[in-house]
Amino acid sequence: MQIYLPIAETSVNAFTLLGVGGGVGVLSGMFGVGGGFLITPLLFFIGVPPAVAVATGVNQVVASSISGVLAHLKRKTVDLRMGTVLLIGGLVGSIIGIWFFNLMQRLGQLDLIVQLSYVLFLGIIGALMLQESLRALRRSKNPNAPRRKLHTHNWVHNLPWKMKFRASGLYISVVPPLLVGVGVGILAAIMGVGGGFILVPAMIYLLGMPTKVVIGTSLFQVTFVAAFTTMMHAVTNHSVDVMLAVFLILGGVIGAQVGTRIGLRLKAEQLRILLALLVLAVCGKIALDLLLTPSELYSITIPGRF
């Protein structure tokens, strides 16, 4: 069954869309990842214009993180003060990202920028994930291997404008969280992702936040930045496709429930390797599209359309 997407102005197969949403939903439920970094490139592959894929992907992030953030707020595992600082940075980053996105679209280079960012970030995450899961696998076989120290006193602690973050038990400068927020906001606007994959490691290793508030606080920031970015895309370039979003979200929320069940039963370490390989495969596919001589050197853009 084909469905017509009113903003993308093309038809795609409804089951393919539900499959993309559902498949990524299962993965996100299993591994606790947002999945935006897989949904958006998969949408390119099925022929959704990149501008629409990015803006709609970020809308889908709101749906996939809203219930998580509500649960964490109820459990009080959100550092609201840190979340707000990260959020302020995120909003600024989102504005910068949207400006850059629209500029590149006018110059006809948007597709390239989006693809390049994906190659870069998927490559990094995939490699890190693979390394991390291989290490975890080795550790589970040999429990005496040296562990990495979680909290270290580094340059972050010597910056000005210090602030107390009681929930995290930190007294650090606001500059690093603001900058992290800005970076995540830019990624949200250009790539249509939540940015949890950058935010969570940054919070743990760079800011030294305790793990019990990391997930809640990152979901808090991601949800609001994604909501803001959705609004910005809708207002500045009209590229959010509600019809597409509904199918992705439906597939995604059902998939996430299934994935959570699977995740509880299976050993995650081996599966994490598979996820890492999947991420690297998507990265490789986009990279090949950029590197190999395309079968058609020309492309058409219509001002005001995608």
Contact residues: other proteins, CB under 8 A: 1-4, 6-7, 9-11, 59-60, 62-67, 70, 108-109, 112, 116, 227, 230-231, 233-235, 238, 240, 242-243, 245-246, 249-250, 253-254, 256-257, 290-294, 296-303, 305
Q: How many CB atoms lie within 10 A of CB 131?
A: 11
Q: How far from 168 is each of 165, 198, 212, CA to CA, in Å?
A: 6, 19, 9
Compute CA 151 distance to the chain's CA centroid, rounded to the nearest angstrom: 25
CB of 122 to other proteins, least distance (A): 16
CB of 71 to other proteins, least distance (A): 8
CB of 305 to other proteins, least distance (A): 8
Task: Name the one residue in this structure whose structure tokens are 């990015």.
Answer: 54
The H or E element that residue 13 is part of is strand 10-13
For the chain, what's the residue count?
A: 306
Nearer to other proteins among residue 9 and residue 164 (C-beta): 9
Nearer to other proteins among residue 98 and residue 202 (C-beta): 98
Nearer to other proteins among residue 246 and residue 262 (C-beta): 246
Judge whether 164 and 171 are in contact, CB under 8 Å.
Answer: yes
CB of 7 to other proteins, least distance (A): 6
CB of 257 to other proteins, least distance (A): 5
Question: What does the alpha-carbon distance between residue 288 and residue 12 come to, in Å, rounded to a whole number?
Answer: 24
Nearer to other proteins among residue 212 and residue 305 (C-beta): 305
Judge whether 90 and 177 are in contact, CB under 8 Å.
Answer: no
Residues 6 or more apart whose CB falls under 8 angstroms from that of 283 comprise 118, 119, 122, 123, 126
Question: What does the alpha-carbon distance between residue 25 and residue 19 come to, in Å, rounded to a whole number?
Answer: 9
CB of 76 to other proteins, least distance (A): 19
CB of 27 to other proteins, least distance (A): 17
Nearer to other proteins among residue 160 and residue 296 (C-beta): 296
Nearer to other proteins among residue 10 and residue 84 (C-beta): 10
Nearer to other proteins among residue 202 and residue 248 (C-beta): 248
- The DSSP-derived string for 173-206 is ESHHHHHHHHHHHHHHHHH----HHHHHHIIIII
Q: How far from 7 is each of 10, 23, 49, 51, CA to CA, in Å?
A: 8, 24, 10, 11
CB of 182 to other proteins, least distance (A): 22
Judge whether 34 and 243 are in contact, CB under 8 Å.
Answer: no
Write the single-letter amino acid at 78.
Answer: V
Q: How many angstroms separate the most distant Cα atoms in the chain?
A: 61
Nearer to other proteins among residue 214 and residue 253 (C-beta): 253
